[in-house]
Amino acid sequence: MNTLDQISIYPIKSCSGIQLESARVESRGFPLDRRWMLIEANGDFISQRNTPQLGQFQISVHDNHLHVQFSDKSPLKIQMELSKSTIRESRIWKDNVSGKEVSNVCDDWFSEILNRQVHLIHMDESVSRPLIKESLPQDRSFEVSFADGYPYLLTNQASLDDLNQRLTTHIPMDRFRSNLVVSGFEAFAEDDWKQISIGDVVFQVVKPCARCHVTTIDQKSGIQSKEPLKTLASYRKQDGKVMFGMNLIALTQGTVTHNDPVKVLN
Q: How far is CA 163 from CA 110, 166, 193, 244, in A?
A: 35, 5, 20, 10
3-state SS class at 55: helix
Peptide bond into 208 cis (omega under 30): no
Please give the pLDDT value at position 84.
67
Question: Does residue 90 surpass a pLDDT of 80?
Answer: yes
pLDDT interval class at 2 (50, 70, 90): very high
Contact indicator for 246, 205 with CB cutoff of 8 Å = yes
Contact indicator for 154, 6 with CB cutoff of 8 Å = no
Please report, rounded to a whole number, the percentage of residues in the chain having pLDDT higher than 70: 99
Question: Does residue 138 surpass a pLDDT of 90?
Answer: no
Contact indicator for 92, 85 with CB cutoff of 8 Å = no
Q: In the predicted model, what is the mean pLDDT of residues 237-262? A: 97
Q: Per this entry, what is the length of the chain?
A: 266
Q: In the predicted model, what is the mean pLDDT of residues 210-218? A: 96
Q: Can you list the domains of the chain with their CATH numbers?
A: 3-7+18-27+133-264 (2.40.33), 36-122 (no CATH)
pLDDT tens column, 18-75: 999 999 999 999 999 999 999 999 999 999 999 999 999 999 999 889 999 999 899 9
Strand 241-250 with 237-238, pairing: antiparallel
Average pLDDT of the chain, as a whole number: 95
CA distance 255 to 242: 31
Question: Does residue 82 surpass a pLDDT of 80?
Answer: no
pLDDT tens column, 145-194: 999 999 999 999 999 999 999 999 999 999 999 999 999 999 999 999 99
Upper half-sphere CA count for residue 162 (Cβ side, 13 Å): 15
pLDDT interval class at 228 (50, 70, 90): very high
Q: DSSP strand E in 28-125: where?
A: 36-40, 58-62, 65-69, 76-79, 87-92, 95-101, 118-122
Phi and psi of 146, rounded to 5°?
Answer: -85, 15
Contact indicator for 78, 84 with CB cutoff of 8 Å = no
Indicate yes or no: pTM above 0.75. yes
Amino acid at 56: Q
Give the dihedral of Cα atoms 126, 129, 130, 133; nearest 10 deg. -170
